Amino acid sequence: MQTQKRYQPSLKIYVMWHPNYKEGQMYADQIYANFGREIQNDIIYRRPGIPVYFNNDIDKVIDLNEAKHIAILVLIDDEMVVDSKWNNYLVDLWNEFKSRKDGMHRIYPISISKNAFQLEEISSINYIRLHEIDSEEKKLKKLLGNATHEICRLLLSRPRISTETELSTAPVSLFLSHAKKDGSELAKAIKNYIHQETPLKTFFDATDIASGYSFSSEINQSIKIKETALLVLQTDTYSSRDWCRKEVIQAKLSNIPIVVVNLITTGEERSFPYLGNVPTVRWDGSIEMIQDIINITLTEILRDLYTKLHLESLTNIYEVSDRVHTLAHHPELMSFVKIIEEEGDKDLLTVLYPDPPLGYEELALLTSIKPNFKFLTPTMLPILRYAEQEASSDQLEILKNTKVGLSISNSSDLMSYGLNNMHLEDAFVEFSRYLLVNGAKLLYGGDLRQGGFTEILYNLVRNYFPEEVQSAHKIDNYQAWPIYLNVTTSIRAELNKVVNFKMIDSPENSQVDPREFLPPNCKENRVIWANSLTKMREEMNNDLDARVLIGGAVQNYKGKYPGLLEEAYIALRDGKPLYLLGGFGGCTKAVIEALLGNKPRELTGDFQMSNREYSEMVQEYNSKSIDDESIDYDKVLNFLKEKGISSLNNGLSEDENLILFNSPHIPEMISLVLKGLAKIANE
């Protein structure tokens, strides 16, 4: 079997702050939402998808070889300034960056305090200055705008003079596309703001072209150079101007980022059809909004730069450059113009475009033109050969009827991996998305809160399947007694379109009233709860075809064992395919260590019995059980050690499972799980 090549991100962003800086996590979360995959507001269209990790621990080593580019944003407050250990840590990091001499990595110090410049050596770097700003909202806007621009410059890596100098890279430029009749006033305001408040460049109009040069050639060349974005000021007369239309078409054919500012007041005689498939923002008439417009445009430039590097890297890793046509944006009807120009009028072709996958209605339209074209995202590359073998134009058949149990839950050691709950929610959404898109049936237990995972799943099903078939793609939600007694009829009715509820009755011989909620407030009741949860997990295991585990608590649970440990044990016992993703730590990482022959402290009896309530429950449980059913951590550890990697039965090689055990990258995790599931489903 061919050895799996390791995925190396084109860019990684780290956010650092002192553990005593209380607002550090808030800034880190906002940076993650801006550069990563924000799912809180919109799970379908999202931010650039750049991996973002957190660090407030000086014992954490950052490997500069783990990504082509690494950008470190350091939030410097008074706590960091007076902490000599942090001083030394940052100096060592800065010296390592300087020793590379390749300009591929950057540290961006951010002045939270006016004393931030007292740090040794680091003070020689140009700071992103926030300490002079009073408003938290304005601080955040400046931070995100400046950081986005600087990271764009890092990816461009184009020096101002020559590669032999140590001067900073040239600033990103914007091309302001506007109709003079009703767009020049805002265009001038944006140009003036950029020149006075930012390090960006602008290409405005004929006044920026030297005498004697071709107007059309200058515009076309400006649009074609890769550091330019087209900022469209869409006024009432914009679409009626031939030069404006030419600029948009040239930008699209050149794969240049476009952002549209909507300034329409009365209306248009005819809307211009090629202004779609791009970010838009509604102008509210305030000069203060110019910074928002610039930030949105910079984010789109960064998304474009990162996507192109990301796609190039992945097609090289999977050695499919000659088998796919890559797009740096989501495909649209106009994409066929460029595809035919570069590929010829082929009937069979795989088109690779950025995550996330398109909804069913867009795919249906695209495949109506080219029925045998396959439209895939980078995360789907490992299943490329299965997609190419699909005879129908349906994009959703590769894992058809495969029932996958998805267990993703919080773990107490997330931060030691540079992660928090936002990363965990991201993992849940992305795994759910790709399992559903490829036709799998999703089984999970838990979260029915308003705004929780079930609501997210509802939106995914609604987006990726036509209404007439949504009922066939319902999520199976397993609820153990007595927990399901708290699921009201109203909740069940509200979620009926997306969820099949599997209410698992109370254990036999439990001698309880199944209609009354039983609180886990004594050892006898906790034994009943443990048996109920075991029964639910057994029934789910009987129904599923494969199990995926991420994270998981190792303490403060209500079951016989930590939940994900019991699920792993049952799956391995019954020979069900099991995928263990260790990059989020927790119980899953401990199970991995046991499979590898080690003895993780978290899965020892001594560690578990340190919890008095649990210890009392175990004694009560074992006093009434036969030997095969008793709670015995030594037995479980020996079982896992004897099983080993080969027992995972998941369609992946040992090398691929070892990657899955350690990878912190959600796309890499999903890619490997899809690869294993596709192999099992198609054998």
Q: What is the pLDDT of residues 125-140, one digit of tens each?
A: 889 999 999 899 899 9
Region 483-493 average pLDDT: 88
Starting at the edge strand that comes first in sequence, how are the strands of the sheet with 403-409 ordered? 499-504, 475-480, 441-445, 403-409, 546-551, 578-581
Question: At 204, is the pLDDT very low, low, confident or very high (cuts 50, 70, 90)?
Answer: low
Q: What is the pLDDT of residue 474?
A: 82
Q: What is the pLDDT of residue 166?
A: 46
Question: At 449, is the pLDDT very low, low, confident or very high (cuts 50, 70, 90)?
Answer: low
Region 80-89 average pLDDT: 94
Give, for 477, the enclosing helix (H) or strand (E): strand 475-480
Residue 650 has pLDDT above 50, yes or no: yes
Range with the largest mean pLDDT of 8-12, 76-80, 458-462: 76-80
Residue 162 has pLDDT above 50, yes or no: no
Region 663-682 average pLDDT: 92
Enumerate the H helices of 128-278 as residue ranges.
136-156, 180-197, 215-224, 242-253
Q: What is the pLDDT of residue 636?
A: 97
Give, for 13, the enclosing helix (H) or strand (E): strand 11-17
The C-alpha atoms of residue 150 and residue 172 are separated, in whole angstroms, by 9
> What is the percent of the chain where pLDDT is above 70?
89
Give, for 230, the enclosing helix (H) or strand (E): strand 228-234
Q: What is the pLDDT of residue 401?
A: 85
Give, for 500, the enclosing helix (H) or strand (E): strand 499-504
**Cα three-residue angle 261-337-270, rounded to 5 degrees:** 40
The C-alpha atoms of residue 482 and residue 463 are separated, in whole angstroms, by 33
Residue 617 has pLDDT above 90, yes or no: yes
Alpha-carbon torsion (508, 513, 519, 521), positive or negative: negative
The C-alpha atoms of residue 266 and residue 262 are separated, in whole angstroms, by 12
Mean pLDDT of the chain: 87
> For the chain, how far is it from start to end, CA to CA, in angstroms?
16
Bridge partners (DSSP) listed for residue 105: 70
Considering only 182-186, 444-448, 515-519, 559-563, which range has the smallest mean pLDDT? Answer: 444-448
Residue 294 has pLDDT above 60, yes or no: yes
* Closest listed residue to residue 507, CA positions, set 534, 543, 537, 525: 534
Residue 167 has pLDDT above 70, yes or no: no
Name residue, tokens 């993992």.
427
309-361, pLDDT tens digit by residue?
Answer: 999 988 888 888 888 999 999 999 999 998 999 999 888 899 999 988 888 88
The C-alpha atoms of residue 314 and residue 308 are separated, in whole angstroms, by 10
Region 378-401 average pLDDT: 74
Q: What is the pLDDT of residue 282?
A: 94
Question: At 206, is the pLDDT very low, low, confident or very high (cuts 50, 70, 90)?
Answer: very low
Residue 36 has pLDDT above 60, yes or no: yes
> What is the percent of the chain where pLDDT is above 90?
56
* Closest listed residue to residue 33, CA positions, set 54, 19, 17: 54
Ramachandran quadrant class, 367 (left: phi over 0; alpha: psi -120 to 50; beta: rest): alpha
Q: What is the pLDDT of residue 494?
A: 81
Q: What is the pLDDT of residue 317?
A: 84
Q: What is the pLDDT of residue 160?
A: 38
Q: What is the pLDDT of residue 38?
A: 65
Which are the contacts of 587, defined by CB distance < 8 A and separation ≥ 6?
411, 549, 551, 552, 553, 554, 562, 563, 564, 565, 602
Region 493-517 average pLDDT: 86
Q: What is the pLDDT of residue 624?
A: 85
Higher pLDDT, 420 or 459: 420
Helix then strand then coil, in percent of the chain rounded to 5, is 50, 15, 35
Bridge partners (DSSP) listed for residue 107: 72
Long-range contacts of residues 222-227, Cβ cutoff 8 Å, at least 24 apart: 222/173, 222/175, 223/175, 223/247, 223/250, 223/251, 223/254, 223/256, 224/250, 224/254, 224/256, 225/173, 226/156, 226/256, 226/305, 227/152, 227/156, 227/158, 227/170, 227/172, 227/173, 227/301
Residue 5 has pLDDT above 80, yes or no: no
Q: Number of helices and strands (H, E) in the chain?
A: 22, 19
Higher pLDDT, 4 or 247: 247
Residue 161 has pLDDT above 60, yes or no: no
Higher pLDDT, 356 or 580: 580
Q: What is the pLDDT of residue 203?
A: 61
